[in-house]
Amino acid sequence: MAPGISTIKRGSIQVQRAAKVVNDRLGSRQLLCAFVTTGFVLCGIVEQSASVALRANSPSPYTAAEFAEYVENTSYITRYCQQPADDRNDTRDGNSGVHVVRSIPHIEIPMTRTDETEAVLREAFMWGTLFSPLAASRVAARVGAERLFGASVLGAAAPAIMVPAFWLTPGHVVLRFLQGIFMGATWPAAHMLAVTWIKSKYVSGFVSLYTAVNLGYAVVGILGTVVVRKLGRDFLSYVISFTSVVWYFLWWRFVDISLFPNRVKRDEHRHLPWRRLLASKPAWACGIAVIGSQWADATLMLGVTKYLKLVYGFSIEYEDILQSLPHIGHFFAAIMFGVVVDHVRSTGLTSTTTCRKFFVYLSHFPPAALMFVLGYTGCDPSAPAALYTAALAMTGATPAGVFASAADIAPNFAVCWLVAPGFRFFISDTPSDRHHIHGIWKRICARLERLWRLRDRARYSRRAV
């Protein structure tokens, strides 16, 4: 036998022994959870990698100090919060040292070329996530969720190696669209993994791992920015691609080979009851709730950050804590909610339906209430930032409520209703940077004021009668 062949054979035997040791020490469920978590982290890194590569080294039209001065002299909050001074011509009061707001009109910050480019690349990615989930749910039933999930993560991250060649060209937009297609396929594949390999009493905790995408946002925001500034944006693409190849090899060796031969043969794709599914009120309720929750997440991550930027002077580019902490809190809150639901269901404290309903309400109403309070926090800029972080953490109850409900009402067809995350394109584009959020707030407040006046007039007319 040739030396090279014997070396390869010996190496393969060593890999098999290592895989056996790992499988013996770690249960299949723990191993699957670890790989699904890291897979979604990779997907989150891929989704935000273009934004990080664009903004890390892009020359900002204003420095942090200039931006703070701009907000200080144009924000309505600043006008109301600053103490008045007698001398309006000087920007500093010599006695008190308080900054005096100059009487200048409110000015829009126009979109920079970086903002426009980022919006185009994000939209292309979201278009891909819109089209792929439904088709992926059928593919998962045919080829197996184990193979589809691994191929989807690899297909979303590995093409990053071509980003330097297509940087800011039409090919770059097409590449982002293809990456979005593969990422959109991870949701139904992961859900089929949940209903196939995870026991019912652990489904909530497993589904909560989907929020590792947000953890990927934080990772690429912190580490990716450092990599781009130190080694260049091309190196970030190479790291993402290489990491995905390593992840896929480990997934194939420790998960795919172990699970695929023992998977349950499913033929639901041949007998899919479309009429009953489309006429099912619980199924539609799950889909609408998922879309509503995704809308809330996108509004929080885009709309509220724009509000904090224009009104209070927070800038995600300069505030590393505000860039990462909300996403990290969202992930760990989701894990906590999933574990709590599984514990409550296993102990029989309440019914499964009651648990799901409670966490659906928890993921919608408290964040909405926090956003309402955010507008009345006054002059302290840390208060709205804390409310934003808390609201994004509360939306982490979505997987334990809505996502897991699809597995409860129709385990064999649950993946059909996990196509709702694909609607994140419409959700994310609505409050995107190209829309002037503070202008929207002005129109909303104006309409509320009109309604308030109409109500007062109606009261006066009733009293007069």
Residue extents of the structural domains in the chain:
14-61+112-263+276-434
Average pLDDT, the chain: 72
Farthest CA pair distance, the chain: 106
Nearest to 396 by CA among 327, 331, 347: 331
Check residues 20 and 181 and name the one with the higher pLDDT: 181
**pLDDT tier at 303, thresholds 50, 70, 90:** confident
Reduce the DSSP state of residue 99 to 3 states and report it. Answer: strand
Q: Tokens 């890194």 appear where?
A: 45
φ, ψ of residue 92 in degrees (nearest 5):
-135, 135
Check residue 415 and give its pLDDT.
Answer: 56
Check residue 49 and give its pLDDT.
Answer: 87
Check residue 27 and give its pLDDT.
Answer: 61
Tell me the one-letter amino acid at 272. Answer: L
Residue 318 has pLDDT above 80, yes or no: no
CA distance 110 to 120: 16
The runs of H, that is alpha helices, within 279-351 are 281-298, 305-307, 320-347
For residue 246, how far is the Cα from the chain centroid?
Answer: 24
For residue 195, how far is the Cα from the chain centroid?
Answer: 23
**pLDDT tier at 244, thresholds 50, 70, 90:** very high
What does the pLDDT look like over 336-381, one tens digit per residue?
A: 998 888 888 888 888 888 888 888 888 888 888 888 888 777 777 7
- CATH topology classification for 14-61+112-263+276-434: Growth Hormone; Chain: A; (1.20.1250)
Residue 401 has pLDDT above 60, yes or no: yes
CA distance 254 to 251: 6
CA–CA distances in Å: residue 166 to residues 4, 53, 177, 234: 38, 13, 13, 11
Check residue 188 and give its pLDDT.
Answer: 83
The percentage of the chain sitting over the pLDDT mark of 90, rounded to a whole number, equals 11
Maximum mean pLDDT: which of 5-9, 116-120, 238-242, 387-391: 238-242
**Radius of gyration over every alpha carbon of the chain, rounded to an integer in angstroms:** 25
Nearest to 78 by CA among 86, 88, 92, 68: 68
- Region for residue 168 given its phi and psi (left: phi exceeds 0; alpha: psi -120 to 50; beta: otherwise): left
Q: Which of 75-84, 135-144, 283-292 has the lowest mean pLDDT?
A: 75-84
Nearest to 315 by CA among 46, 113, 115, 107: 115
CA distance 85 to 100: 7
Check residues 21 and 327 and name the one with the higher pLDDT: 327
Token pair recorded at residue 251: 């997934």
Check residue 139 and give its pLDDT.
Answer: 81
Residue 95 has pLDDT above 60, yes or no: no
Token pair recorded at residue 263: 């998977």
The percentage of the chain sitting over the pLDDT mark of 70, rounded to a whole number, equals 62
- DSSP letter at 400? I
Helix (H) or strand (E) run with residue 55 in it: helix 28-56
**pLDDT tier at 182, thresholds 50, 70, 90:** very high
CA distance 384 to 405: 32
Check residues 66 and 250 and name the one with the higher pLDDT: 250
Check residue 98 and give its pLDDT.
Answer: 40
| Helical pair 281-298 and 352-374, crossing angle rounded to 10 deg | 30
